[in-house]
Structure 1
Amino acid sequence: MLSRSLAFPSLADFWQLGKPRVVALIVFCAAVGILLAAPSQADWPRLLLSLAGIGLVAMGAAAANCLFERDRDAVMRRTSARPLVRGSLGQPEAAAYAVMLTVSGLWLLLQFANPLTTGLTLATFFGYAIVYTRWLKPATPQNIVIGGAAGAMPPVLGWAAVSGTIPAEAAVLFLIIYAWTPPHFWALALYRRDDYARAGLPMLPVTHGAAFTRLSILLYALVLFAVALLPFVIRLSGWLYLLAACWLGAGFVMRAWRLYRAEEAQSDAQARGLFRFSIAYLTWLFGALLLDRAVQWLW
């Protein structure tokens, strides 16, 4: 009978390797870019296949990230159950899976989107899987600020898949996610700082301390509040979105303020709450963009 380390990997192992929850948010943001850019008579089958291509490349990048970070993942409590750490999935299988997903996704984009979207998606893969994971993450506490550009690309990719261009509207969507990324990840790093310290990663709470990180989160929350108003300023959205952005932004700033003012014994709980809220924030904010656009169409 084969041991667990020699057994054939399950579909669940491959599915987990692609970080489906993270990719779901990526695909949603790309879909928002598509829906905001698409005319009423758009070629929806082509756009859906383009969206599938973006999702496959995102899963390929996630699998590559797990492959490159397997040694760090082994010493971090949060990631110790990943398939490569458990030994339920081998490195050759993980590498082949990452290549298969990435090549399949790029092929779909080349066939059903356009060369611009294909090139940008490949650059995003390289930016996340190589530049961020291999170079920036172990080198600087500003890793997530610099590397956040790759994570902010999904709505740009969606917009480019429709129009073959990157207009100001797509750039604004990029800026929202780019401003959201540091406080989102620093909140996670705050209550997981021991994990990052064990892995030897220079995340901001490890290198600059919890107090500096809490202040940085608050400042970025204020920047995010302002940046999230830009869709209304450039008339990409209307009053419904503006109200939602103000409400959600106030919630983000309020939680960041509470984290900044929290006693040391309570800061981990506050950071965990902010991290969870930040995921809901981005989902609801982009959902408000879609709802606002739907109301405009109906009127």
Structure 2
Amino acid sequence: MRNSNEIHAGTFSLPVWRDYWELGKPRVVLVMLVCALVGMALAVPGLPPVDKVLFGLLGIGLASMGAAAFNHLLDRRLDRLMIRTASRPVAEGRLGSLQAATYASLLSVAGITLLWIEVNPLTAWLTLASLLGYALVYTGFLKRVTPQNITIGGLAGAAPPLLGWTAITGQIHPDALLLVLIIFAWTPPHFWALAIYKREEYAKAGVPMLPVTHGEAFARLQVWLYTWLTVAVTLLPFVTGMSGWIYLVGVLALNLRFLHWNWRVWRGKDLAVPLASFWFSIRYILLLFLLLLVDHYTSLMT
């Protein structure tokens, strides 16, 4: 039988590869890659070139995981103060700062280099700008100084469909920027819902999230107002002719549900509702981009 010290040690001796894997926030990166893939598909009338898709997704994915690892590194002190993040590999000490910095750098360099060589320089430069925007501008600066950190810093997180588009065409197109605008408008109600739920933890950590600096009631109102902005922006693909009736019908149904959840966030006091709204918003953005994809290929077959 193992003694208590061995059991105690065993609970913290996770395989190293799992700690490195967690460092890259794979679930968040997966959502980003779905959005990038839709950008690739919408960039051309037919199927995009397979090699550009594979190398593009791999390069964007590696760079995104590198940015996420830098986020873990720079936020390690704040993460220790919050229940949601206290068990992260660097915050808990399972990985050291040098290990995290080396891993983040290797992933980032590998991703940008792959994009430069196998895809095109424009996508490499835009991915680098997105990486620096998230890891340095948002995590290292905005997150600590302004309650509008999510609004301003959300541009970096909204880049994946643009990166996917440029990976295929090598050009920036207004339709690609519209996809960026959709994610940019969606980010505040998505994240502020979570910030309302975790308000006390952010206050304890000294992070100036909107519910901490302006109060919960104000933050709930902003979630509701930004929800309407998101609804308006998500109708633009149909208005501009980028998408057709399949997308319109689907996005109207999604928006009704999105409005329902965030109306409950605005008017309610139950903290379980903002968390439920946060989780729904992830499904919302994934389904919205899936609708864009289905509408695109359906229109090609008619």
Both proteins in one fold, TM over 0.5: yes
Q: Which runs of 4+ in 1 moved over 2 A?
A: 1-4, 6-9, 38-43
1:41, distance to aligned residue in structure 2 (A): 5.8
Is the Cα–Cα contact under 8 Å of residues 9 and 88 in structure 1 kept in the other structure?
A: no
Give the aligned residue type for 1:295: T
Counterpart residue number, 2:240 = 234
| AA matched with 1:109 | L
**100, 113, 117: which one pairs with 1:111?**
117
Q: Which residue of 2 aligns with 1:290?
A: 293
Q: Which residue does 2:261 correspond to in 1?
A: 255
Q: Give the Å deviation of 1:115.
A: 1.0
**Alpha-carbon displacement from aligned partner over 1:18-40 (angstroms, at most 9, x marks no partner):** 00010000111011100111343
Partner of 2:273: 270
| Map 1:125-164 → 2, pairs under 5 A | 125-164=131-170
Alpha-carbon spacing, 1:139–1:37, altered in 2? closer, same or farther (3 Å): same
Distance 1:282 1:215 in 2: 21
TM-score by length of 2: 0.94
Offset of residue 9 of structure 1: 6.1
Matched to 1:140, the amino acid is T
Tell me the distance in 2 between the aligned counterparts of 1:127 and 1:293: 31
- 1:224 counterpart = 2:227: no
User: What is the aligned partner in structure 2 of residue 212 from structure 1?
Assistant: 218
2:27 aligned partner: 21
Structure 1 portions without partners, runs of 5+: none
Pair 1:86-2:92 in alignment: yes
Q: Is the 2:52–2:167 Cα contact (8 Å) retained in structure 1?
A: no
Amino acid in structure 2 at the alignment position of 1:270: V
Aligned partners of 1:69 and 1:86: how far apart in 2? 12
**How many aligned residue pairs are there?**
296
1:57–1:105 contact (8 Å) kept in structure 2: yes
Contact 2:37 2:164 in 1 (8 A): yes
Distance across 2 between alignment mates of 1:153 and 1:161: 12
**2-side partners of 1:57 and 1:136: how far apart?**
21
Aligned to 2:177: 171
* CA deviation vs aligned residue, 1:47-99 (integer Å, no higher than 9, x gap): 21111100100000000000000010001000011011221111111111001
What displacement does 1:260 show? Answer: 1.1
Contact 1:9 1:89 in 2 (8 A): no
Q: What pairs up with 1:189-204 in 2 under 5 angstroms?
A: 189-204=195-210
Post-superposition CA distance 1:128-167 (Å, at most 9, x none): 0000001100000000000011011000010011111111
Please give the TM-score of this superposition, normalised by the length of structure 1: 0.95
Structure 2: any 5+ residue segments left out of the alignment? none
Whether contact under 8 Å (1:59, 1:98) holds in the other structure is yes
Change in 2 beyond 3 A, CA 1:167/1:270: same
| Matching residue of 2:76 | 70
**Paired AA for residue 273 in structure 2:** Q
- The alignment's C-alpha RMSD in Å is 1.8
* Distance in 2 separating the partners of 1:119 and 1:39: 25
**Compared CA separation, residues 91 and 8, structure 1 to 2 (3 A):** farther
Distance 1:142 1:112 in 2: 37
1:219-246 superposed Cα distances (whole Å, 9 cap, x missing partner): 0000100100111111111100001111
Matching residue of 2:16: 10
Q: Is the 8 A contact 2:193 2:265 kept in 1?
A: no
